Homo-oligomer: A and B are copies of this chain.
Amino acid sequence: MVEKLKVEEGVETSAPLFTDEIEVRTLADLARLAGVSAGTVSRALAGKSLVNVETRERIQALARKHGFRPNQMASKLRSRRTGVIGVVIPLGHDRRQHISDPFFLTLLGALADHLTESGYDLMLSRAIPDETSDWLERMTGSGMTDGVIVIGQSDQFEVIEKVAAQYRPMVVWGHHRPGQTHCVVGTDNFLGGKLATERLIRTGARRLAFLGATGGIEIAKRFEGTVAAAKTAGLTVTHLPVHMADEQVGHEVAAALGNGSGTDFDGIVAGSDLIAMSALRVLYENGQRIPEEVQVIGFDDLPIAAQTFPPLSTVRQEIQDGARIMVEKLKARIAGQSTESAVMPPSLVLRASTR
- Listed in ascending order, the chain A residues whose CB lies under 8 Å from chain B are 1-10, 12-14, 67-74, 76-77, 82, 84, 98-102, 105-106, 108-110, 112-113, 116, 121-126, 137-138, 141-144, 164-166, 168, 176, 178-181, 183, 188, 247, 249-250, 274, 277-278, 280-281, 284-285, 303-304, 306-311, 318, 321, 325, 338, 340-345
Contact = CB atoms under 8 A, between A and B. Distances in A.
Contacts of A70: 142
A208 to B, nearest CB: 22
Contact of A340 (B6, B99, B179): B6
A73 B143 contact: yes
Nearest to A82: B73
Contacts of A110: 98, 100
A343 B164 CA distance: 47
Given A112-B99, A113-B126, A126-B113, A306 B7 contact: no
Nearest to A84: B123
A340 B7 CA distance: 6
A144 B73 contact: yes
Contact of A325 (B4, B281, B311): B4
A143 B71 contact: yes
A270 B153 CA distance: 38
A293 to B, nearest CB: 15
Contact of A344 (B4, B113, B166, B284): B4
A211 B166 CA distance: 53
Contacts of A142: 69-72
B124 A344 contact: no
Contacts of A168: 14
Given A69-B141, A73-B73, A281-B311, 6 more contacts: A73-B144, A98-B109, A101-B109, A116-B126, A250-B306, A280-B307
6 contacts: A4-B342, A5-B343, A73-B77, A74-B77, A122-B124, A308-B309
Contacts of A338: 9, 12
A304 B303 contact: no
Given A102-B102, A306-B247, A311-B281, A72 B143 contact: yes
B116 A105 contact: no
Given A181-B12, A247-B306, A341-B9, A137 B67 contact: yes
A295 to B, nearest CB: 16
A73 B98 CA distance: 28
B4 A69 contact: no
Given A106-B105, A124-B122, A126-B113, A72 B144 contact: yes
Given A126-B113, A176-B7, A307 B281 contact: yes
Contacts of A100: 106, 109-110, 113, 303
B121 A2 contact: no
Given A250-B307, A304-B277, A309-B284, A340 B8 contact: yes
